[in-house]
Amino acid sequence: MFDRFHPRYLVPNAVTGASLMIAMIAIIQASRGAHESAAWLIVWCALLDRADGFLARLVNAQSDFGVQFDSLADLLGFCVAPATFVYFLLSDDPRYLPMVKPLPVRAVLLTAVGAYVILGAARLARFNVQTQRIGPEWSRGLPVPIAGGIVATFVLAAWELSLPPWVVVASPVVLLVASVFMVSNLWLPRSLGEGSRSLALQVLGAVAIYGFGATQTFPTLLLAVALAYPTVGFLVGYLHPPPAQTRGV
């Protein structure tokens, strides 16, 4: 980027920088007890994560710097922010604190937070190493933006549906499950369909998802979407894996 700087590179990297700032604010909000705000800020980071890549391709501003910058933003927005959000939520909120005080539950919480951050970072490192050899059509394991979105919308959906407090207290289990899937060897196609009809549905879905995220509405639907893509994608990857030369990576 710096050797051949052009103003167009500012466009996608500015979006990545905005995502980085939003993630930092999410962590601050969580530490101050503004848990709902923190959760929605993580959702916004997930939405911006798709936008910077799209803009980079649109203005022909893809670069190695952008890839690394995006990876660092992902580490903060989808590894550190969701983990600290869950930690502060269960440690501060009087609805959940009595259930988290016992030592075994506290140990599970701390283990889940640490495992999620470390394995999320490992997923990012593996992606950076393997992506050029695997190609643009496949990835392995659960992408960290989806994992972060699942963690945030899981709690938001529990609040929207007025579920019992123990459901939110189970969020460390969500962290642990997401951690396992992030470093799994399951194949995940980047796209689940082709053709004009599929493109139209993707555009319609994207408009709805971005609209719900921007207006902070329908978190249950956002959770369903965040769960549906990897569920269907992993099934497709299992039934129709990529060519043998790709699987050998």
**Cα–Cα distance measured from residue 44 to residue 148, given in angstroms and rounded to the nearest whole number:** 11
Confidence bin at 6 (pLDDT 50/70/90): low
What one-letter code names the amino acid at 130? Q
Radius of gyration of the chain (CA): 18
Rounded alpha-carbon distances, angstroms, from residue 173 to 45, 73, 88, 116, 180:
22, 24, 16, 10, 11
Q: What is the pLDDT of residue 195?
A: 46
Where do we find the tokens 């969701």?
82
**What is the residue range of 152's domain?**
7-247
Question: Residue 208's closest CA among 224, 196, 186, 193?
Answer: 224
* Residue 30 token pair: 């969580």
**CB within 8 Å of 171: residues ≥ 6 apart:** 86, 89, 90, 151, 154, 155
Residue 197 is predicted with a pLDDT of: 46
Confidence at residue 109, expressed as pLDDT on a 0 to 100 scale:
97
Q: Report the number of distinct structural domains present in the chain.
A: 1
Q: What percent of the chain has pLDDT over 90?
A: 63
- Report, as an integer, the average pLDDT of 64-80: 90
| Within-domain flag for 2 | no
Is 60 in a helix, a strand, or coil? coil
Distance between CA 159 and CA 133 in Å, rounded?
Answer: 42
To the nearest 10°, report the CA torsion of 148, 177, 110, 86: 30
d(CA 182, CA 137): 18
Asked whether residue 130 is assigned to any structural domain, the reply reads: yes
What percent of the chain has a predicted confidence (pLDDT) above 70? Answer: 89
The pLDDT assigned to 147 comes to: 97
What CA–CA distance (Å, rounded) separates 153 from 168?
11
The whole model's pTM is what? Answer: 0.90
Q: What CA–CA distance (Å, rounded) separates 131 from 81? A: 24
79 assigned to some structural domain = yes
Q: Give me the residues paired with residue 238 across strands.
A: none
Longest CA pairwise span in the chain (Å) = 57
Residues 182-197: what's their mean pLDDT? 77
pLDDT value of position 215: 84
* Position 129 confidence tier, pLDDT thresholds 50, 70, 90: confident
| Strand partners of residue 188 | 139
| 236 phi/psi in degrees, rounded to 5 | -65, -45
Please give the Cα distance from 169 to 98 (Å, whole number): 10
Within a domain: residue 41?
Answer: yes
Domain annotation covers residue 1: no
Q: What is the CATH number of the domain that holds 81?
A: 1.20.120.1760
User: Averaged over 4-31, what is the pLDDT?
Assistant: 86
pLDDT value at 1 more than 80: no
